[in-house]
Amino acid sequence: MRQHKQVSSLNRRPTVLYLLCAAAFFSLLLFYIQSSFFSGTVSSDSPTKDTVSSDRDSETIRVLSNVQSSVKQCVVTLRSGTFFA
């Protein structure tokens, strides 16, 4: 007769525990990266960073406003029926 080796659940628990710890660490790492990129905080080490950030923000607002105007013009054109004519 053959003897079957039983895989003990005690052998699996450390693996599951390691996977859960790795997933938690990875989640915390991603949260830290996202919060550092999107928090909008500027360090006070360099006063020029405020100016650069302000210029970048105003440029972003200008570009988004232009995109919004273009979309509005496309919607008006589609509603009037001249787009496909």
Rounded Cα distance, 45 and 27, in Å: 30
Task: Kindly tell me if the per-residue pLDDT of 85 is higher than 70.
Answer: no
Q: Answer whether residue 21 is part of any domain.
A: yes
Task: Give the per-residue pLDDT at 28.
Answer: 93
How do residues 22-73 score in pLDDT, each as one tens digit? 999 999 999 998 888 777 655 555 555 566 677 778 888 889 899 999 999 8
Only one residue has tokens 């509005």, namely 72
Task: Give the per-residue pLDDT at 60.
Answer: 87
Q: Answer whether residue 43 is part of any domain.
A: no
Report the domain count for the chain. 1
Task: Give the per-residue pLDDT at 84.
Answer: 56
Q: Answer whether residue 4 is part of any domain.
A: no
Rounded Cα distance, 50 and 37, in Å: 16
Euclidean distance between the first and final Cα of the chain, in Å? 83
Task: Kindly tell me if the per-residue pLDDT of 10 is higher than 70.
Answer: no
Range of the domain at 13: 9-38+51-80
